Amino acid sequence: DTEVTQTPKHLVMGMTNKKSLKCEQHMGHRAMYWYKQKAKKPPELMFVYSYEKLSINESVPSRFSPECPNSSLLNLHLHALQPEDSALYLCASSRQGIPYTNEKLFFGSGTQLSVL
């Protein structure tokens, strides 16, 4: 199994809603990532979990809350989002944890989030 699975594929939420994005991999990878991608822009790193511990938080607003329940699962909890948070949210994993060396990332298909 060489897949990273993200659910849901699409999500529409109001600014007062609470929702969660889910990501799962069964490749035994030790690092998992959340990226945010706006249309026609490159992915921007949000969080990195390495060996199930939060290793990198790229100054992401607290309305985004990551969680790594176990080595295969990664969640992103969303609360009180703004319309400008609408984007494609991508999960990725890599075989080794941080410090990052010569690892390639395996990406999920993403969750297209719209905040109304």
Nearer to other proteins, 18 or 53 (CB): 53
CB of 77 to other proteins, least distance (A): 21
Sort residue 2 into left (φ over 0), alpha (ψ -120 to 50) or beta.
Answer: alpha
Nearer to other proteins, 42 or 83 (CB): 42
CB of 90 to other proteins, least distance (A): 6
Sequence-distant (6+) residues with CB within 8 A of 41 are: none
Tell me how far apart the alpha carbons of residues 43 and 35 are, in angstroms, rounded to a whole number: 6
Nearer to other proteins, 33 or 64 (CB): 33
CB of 84 to other proteins, least distance (A): 18
Structure tokens at 84: 């400008």
